[in-house]
A and B are shown apart, each in its own frame.
Chain A
């Protein structure tokens, strides 16, 4: 029990500083705040790669959060905001890349690979099924030879 409590306290201690660096914004509408959460989780921090701007405490991430908040309050749509960011920071800034252009490869490659794998599997199974079943077990001559050999060893 004591272990469990101390573990819980330890985890709590880890959580607090991570939250402390992120500022909070006031939203005029709860729906805007929800979109803020979604978009800030989807936008990638250009400086501290592999973090989204919601989790990063880099100055650039803070600026982007501020811009995101401003744009949302101005009534920009999700697509407008994403385009705004991509125009400045490139496709890199999106964790969920748009479909189209070179990105189509990204989206379709898994499906293509799955199809190739499926076809390969199908051909292999077909060929196995079509091939004549190899003779299994021993025929009489083999049996004769086996018992002969065994006898030779025993003697």
Chain B
């Protein structure tokens, strides 16, 4: 028994080391969304560059991505070409133009291409607040019922899509198809 006690510091060290090692690969800036498995919040906002008002019902109905972007967001420019690639593959992407100037946003879409089905103009950031957006770009994965299944903060690139988003997207798609 006393002999076993000698190993106690080693055991404590091992447990601590395990936790600290795990901590090395965690990103504290990546917050879990508070809205996972909750419905997309309701809203009534203008359509960017269009007439009329968009609401929750216009967005939901199929498995899709909701991408939060703005022209003042540098990383969004980095992300943009890959969103176009995804749109070309047939992934439905809805844009949430977050706290932006409509004219500048429209110019952005004209110059860089438009990967979005349509864009919600959230000029005051009210939907952004309801979603818990804390930094663009953010991408939400919605299922066909309008529940938020995943949130990615930061640029969606090939690596993020293939490792994180696509497996979830494909699974939701399969589930949608079997119903």
Contacts and interface: CB of A to CB of B under 8 A. Distances in A.
Interface of A: 46-47, 49, 59-60, 63, 67, 86-90, 92
For A86, A88, A90, A92, the residue with the greatest tally of chain B CB atoms inside 10 Å of its CB is: A88
Contact of B132 (A49, A59, A67, A90): A90
* Main SS at interface, chain A: helix
Interface of B: 28-29, 31-35, 99, 125, 129-135
* Main SS at interface, chain B: loop
A46 B31 contact: yes
Contacts, number: 33
A89 B134 contact: yes
A114 B99 CA distance: 49
A88 B125 contact: no
Contact of B29 (A49, A60, A67, A88): A49
Contacts of B135: 46-47, 60
A88 B132 contact: yes
Contacts of B134: 46-47, 60, 89
Contact of B31 (A59, A87, A89): A89
Contact of A59 (B28, B29, B99, B130): B99
Given A47-B134, A60-B134, A88-B35, 7 more contacts: A46-B132, A60-B133, A60-B135, A67-B129, A88-B130, A90-B32, A92-B31
A76 B47 CA distance: 31
Nearest to A67: B129
Nearest to A45: B134
Given A49-B29, A63-B125, A89 B132 contact: yes
Nearest to B130: A88
A86 B34 contact: yes
Nearest to B32: A90
A49 B28 CA distance: 9
A90 B31 contact: yes
Closest 6 CB pairs of A and B: A46-B134, A90-B34, A88-B132, A89-B132, A47-B134, A60-B134
A97 to B, nearest CB: 14
A87 B34 contact: yes
A90 B35 CA distance: 8
B28 A88 contact: no
19 contacts: A46-B31, A46-B134, A46-B135, A47-B135, A49-B28, A49-B29, A59-B99, A60-B133, A63-B125, A63-B129, A88-B35, A88-B129, A88-B130, A88-B131, A89-B31, A89-B34, A89-B134, A90-B32, A90-B34
B151 to A, nearest CB: 11
Contacts of B129: 63, 67, 88
Contacts of B31: 46, 89-90, 92
Contacts of A67: 129
Nearest to B38: A87
A102 to B, nearest CB: 12
A68 B132 CA distance: 15
